[in-house]
Structure 1
Amino acid sequence: MFLLIFTVAVGSLLYYLFFHENPKSIPEGDGWWGASQPQDTEEDEKIHPFTIETSEEMIQDLHHRLDHTRFTPPLEGSKFHYGFNSTYLRKVVSYWRKDYDWKRQLDILNRFPHFRTRIEGISIHFVHVKPPRLPQGQIAVPLIMIHGWPGSFYEFYKIIPQLTDPASSGLSGETFEVICPSIPGYGFSEAPCKQGFNSIAAARVFCKLMRRLGFDRFYVQGGDWGALISTNMAQMKPENVKGIHLNFFPISRMGMKTLPSLFLGKYLPSLVGFTQTDIERMYPFVKRNVENLLKESGYMVIQGTKPDTPGCALNDSPVGLAAYILEKYSTWTCKDFRDLDDGGLTRKFSLDELLTNVMIYWVTGSITSSMRMYKENLRVSFWNRIDAKVGVYVPAGLAAFPNELMHVPLVWARMKYKKIVSFSYMSRGGHFAAFEEPELLAENLQQFVQTVEKSS
């Protein structure tokens, strides 16, 4: 009798894990994140042009704070293994204070059209770039690109021209109309005033934004939080999302389904669906993946539990803010950069580019509200979230960059993304794909969209 009960129980569990069909979409719902209540005010749905501006007093205050920074000497030979090396930080601060031209960077930031509109009680900022020219007979493809932390809409500034005017960049294929919003609580989007604003809420806001702009069918691209928000958009409104392209795609409900392939993959890769590239990027698993994740995930524990505490310090100290943010642009670009005295920061980026991203956080005072995204998303286990139980049934293009924090093989990605039309092992690049390798990402995105368009 016991054996019969045990057999039935195990069989039921295996059926649930491998064959159980979960819902194919998540409910859109609704929300309100403003200080007032919905009934207290009628929401202005107009779209307003916006220009990024700062006062001279703000810049003078920044310079005063930079001039009075207290540095702690680094340990001998520590490089970037203890975090941002303060010897190199002095050089960054010196450049920031003496050579960095914020007014010039403002002109660069404002070269694309910016807008704001109110959705669910808060002001949403976005960049909206239309093609300067369209080949005869071609229609621009709507594309929303979503950043993550500690990034911003500015990450897409190098890729936007390649998508909206591909011919001028030597690319062929579709011409895109690109929308790059700031996640609420980031940059120039207003921060939610109420608890609970997670990736699903952001997905709903951005779906509403695209509908407000007149797009019934569109593509979505993202990395980091932008990848999760993009995924949630596809799960929420599959009838509107024509395709989803990601450069970051961790699978939240792996567990029992991936353990067998993890143990067998190194020795019998073809049996579990691994390629040689998967083997090279994953093993030795503990050394290459688990150890690296442990080294790079301490920030997540802090921001996922008590984000406002470090936020107080970072919002008060521009140098602390720069060190905290730029350290991620070192180690998340390439983990080997920890072995360099300068963290390898200028191997992929200029100091102007890096500091401009920091300045977006500084002038908006948004570092604390941006970190709350971790608290809101981690308050419920990813295993138990509704989006973890729902697959993605729209066409998906996945770009696996070699220096990403963790490699996810195609066979694992298929557990979440049910209609993968392209899976690409990228030749170089890390976590900040659009910022690091705009040409590679633009070309891969073009190929994905062309494939979907031909099949539709």
Structure 2
Amino acid sequence: MGFLCRAALAIFVVFVAFSVYKLREFSKPIEAPKLDLDEYWGPGNKADYKENTEVVGNRIFFPEEVIENLKKDLNRTFEFQAPLEGIGFEYGFNTVYLQKVIKYWRDEYLPKWRARELFLWKWPHFTTDIQGLRIHYIHTRYDDPPKGKKVFPLLLLHGWPGSIREFYDMIPLLVDNADSKYAFEIVVPSLPGYGWSQGSAKPGLGPAKIAVIFRNLMFRLGYKKFFIQGGDWGSTIGSNIATLFPDAVLGYHSNMCIANGFSAMIKKTIASYYPKSFIPEGYEDFFFPLSEKFKHVIEESGYLHIQATKPDTIGAALTHNPVGLAAYILEKFSTWTNKDYKKLSDGGLEKRFTLEALLDNIMIYYLTNSITTSQRLYAENFTLRELALQLDRIQTNVPTGCARFKYDLLHDLDWALKDKYTNLIQSTYHKVGGHFAAFEVPEVLYKDFIEFVEKVVKLYNL
């Protein structure tokens, strides 16, 4: 071997060794930061703020004038461009089907709005002031704990473009299921800026700081240790609570388990060549082929780039624009439930949901004028301030359960997840269901969660 060849080989070896060293340094776990538990997010100066810790029963009635104005907006003549021939939802919301949604909303849903309003308020709703914001939540508490059952507090966390409405078919299972050994006192908050929870007046309220707010909420309600279940933003925020406040978390269960970082990408690439070594047989298509999964994420993430950079612009376009709001949100309930639904002229929306349930969710955004404040969470998540916390590099040691639903936007391997979640005690795969599992397949998600609770109870003799 000539001198130049030996020199090139030496340089290559040094380069590989240095790269491995830097990768290990970059992925090495770090200590959790200490966040301000009283950081103020309300308008004006904190010095002028005195927190009212009172918990208030909450029931908001929307005047008939508001509903009549919505009817008028839906009664306009809409001259949509016709969809291209042979196209379903590939270009976005199909305008032929959108006319059906508008008609149903105006002629069938709104005439029974007072009944829907009663339905939305069927569970006990409350508000309380935390760190300058009025936070809304559902809370069920037992006057007399069910005999023969173990009762645990449970924090249920929704995401975007969902709301507390996602959990309405799961709540009865958690609270009233006679066949279960467990019952739960549940707390289901609206995220800050979503629904009836006040949005921040100041920049910086990202998922880590929301984790502080919800930790404070649970403590105020008397729950010093509790379970967490969440998907979408609820998964991120729930993970942050488990990471930052592990002593307060009995267990963290997610239906959107994500491992961020370079090492996770490397591991997924390696596993793509030897999938049987890393994935239970029959579930390889949850992860591979990588090219197809990557293409799908790119196709579905345009909204994310807009909301992470210009949330107020798209918010202005959707505010008091019920038809635009419905099209923008409902499109996600199509392709995030099953990517193949985009080939259908109705987006497959009524295959897994009813229009009534979907419009309940739209009404929450519309009536509370919260679309802009909800979308700001994306912008806050991708700031240098939030990224500098490096929460993905902080190991989460609380018991963790991961439930994967086949048609969700993306999945990660246990091999990668265990770098972050060192106590991953349950990992399951479901061939039905997509991104909105609590809304779409509540009984499946409930059963998965109960199996996780059972493991935690046995592991720690609770």
Q: Specify the TM-score bucket, using the shorter chain as the normaliser.
A: over 0.9
1:148 aligns with 2:148: no
Q: Which stretch shifts more, 144-153 or 69-78?
A: 69-78
Contact 1:252 1:382 in 2 (8 A): no
1:343 aligns with 2:347: yes
Instruction: Name the structure 2 match of 1:27.
Output: 34
Residue-by-residue CA offset, 1:29-74 (whole Å, 9 max, x unaligned)? 2311111322113110100000031011111110111112532322
Offset of residue 279 of structure 1 = 2.1
Instruction: Name the structure 1 match of 2:214.
Output: 206
Instruction: Name the structure 1 match of 2:131.
Output: 120
Instruction: Name the structure 2 match of 1:221.
Output: 229
Instruction: Name the structure 1 match of 2:285.
Output: 280
Offset of residue 141 of structure 1 = 0.6
1:90 aligns with 2:92: no
Q: Secondary structure at the match of 1:118?
A: strand
Contact 2:381 2:387 in 1 (8 A): no
- Compared CA separation, residues 11 and 148, structure 1 to 2 (3 A): closer
Contact 1:26 1:235 in 2 (8 A): no
1:290 aligns with 2:301: no
- Compared CA separation, residues 290 and 135, structure 1 to 2 (3 A): same
- Compared CA separation, residues 294 and 132, structure 1 to 2 (3 A): farther
Instruction: Name the structure 1 match of 2:18.
Output: 9
Note the 1:424-443 alignment, pairs <5 A.
424-443=428-447
Return the letter of the residue paired with 1:425.
Answer: Y
- Compared CA separation, residues 430 and 131, structure 1 to 2 (3 A): farther
Offset of residue 366 of structure 1 = 0.2
Aligned with 2:275 (options 250, 261, 269): 269
Contact 2:150 2:181 in 1 (8 A): no
Cα separation, 2, equivalents of 1:293 and 1:305: 18
1:60 aligns with 2:71: no
Residue-by-residue CA offset, 1:348-389 (whole Å, 9 max, x unaligned)? 111110001000000000000000000010123976442122
Return the letter of the residue paired with 1:122.
Answer: L
Return the letter of the residue paired with 1:440.
Answer: V
Offset of residue 130 of structure 1 = 2.6
- Compared CA separation, residues 39 and 12, structure 1 to 2 (3 A): same
Contact 1:337 1:343 in 2 (8 A): yes
Q: Secondary structure at the match of 1:323?
A: helix
Cα separation, 2, equivalents of 1:14 and 1:98: 59
Residue-by-residue CA offset, 1:154-192 (whole Å, 9 max, x unaligned)? 11010000001111xxx4231111110000100000111
Q: Secondary structure at the match of 2:52?
A: coil
Residue-by-residue CA offset, 1:66-105 (whole Å, 9 max, x unaligned)? 1125323221221100111010000010000000021111
Offset of residue 251 of structure 1 = 1.4
- Compared CA separation, residues 384 and 34, structure 1 to 2 (3 A): closer
Note the 1:327-406 alignment, pairs <5 A.
327-380=331-384, 384-406=388-410
Instruction: Name the structure 1 match of 2:53.
Output: 45
Return the letter of the residue paired with 2:199.
Answer: A
Contact 1:265 1:279 in 2 (8 A): no
- Compared CA separation, residues 96 and 257, structure 1 to 2 (3 A): closer
Offset of residue 135 of structure 1 = 3.5
1:238 aligns with 2:223: no
For normalisation by structure 2, the TM-score amounts to 0.92
Return the letter of the residue paired with 2:241.
Answer: M
Contact 1:145 1:180 in 2 (8 A): yes
Cα separation, 1, equivalents of 2:49 and 2:389: 32
Q: Secondary structure at the match of 2:341?
A: helix
Cα separation, 2, equivalents of 1:9 and 1:264: 20
Instruction: Name the structure 1 match of 2:200.
Output: 192
- Compared CA separation, residues 75 and 439, structure 1 to 2 (3 A): same
Contact 1:52 1:109 in 2 (8 A): no
Contact 1:131 1:164 in 2 (8 A): no
Offset of residue 285 of structure 1 = 1.3
Cα separation, 1, equivalents of 2:165 and 2:440: 12
Q: Which stretch shifts more, 79-88 or 5-14?
A: 5-14
Show structure 1 runs of 5+ residues with no match. none
**Would you say how many aligned residue pairs link Structure 1 and Structure 2?**
447
Instruction: Name the structure 1 match of 2:257.
Output: 249
Cα separation, 2, equivalents of 1:208 and 1:440: 30
Residue-by-residue CA offset, 1:131-152 (whole Å, 9 max, x unaligned)? 5864325342100001000000
- Compared CA separation, residues 93 and 132, structure 1 to 2 (3 A): farther
Instruction: Name the structure 2 match of 1:73.
Output: 82
Q: Secondary structure at the match of 2:407?
A: coil
Contact 1:43 1:121 in 2 (8 A): yes
Cα separation, 1, equivalents of 2:298 and 2:20: 35
For normalisation by structure 1, the TM-score amounts to 0.94
Runs of 4+ in 1 over 6 A off after TM superposition: none
Cα separation, 2, equivalents of 1:262 and 1:242: 30
Return the letter of the residue paired with 2:173.
Answer: Q
Identity of aligned residues (%): 39
Aligned with 1:111 (options 105, 109, 122): 122
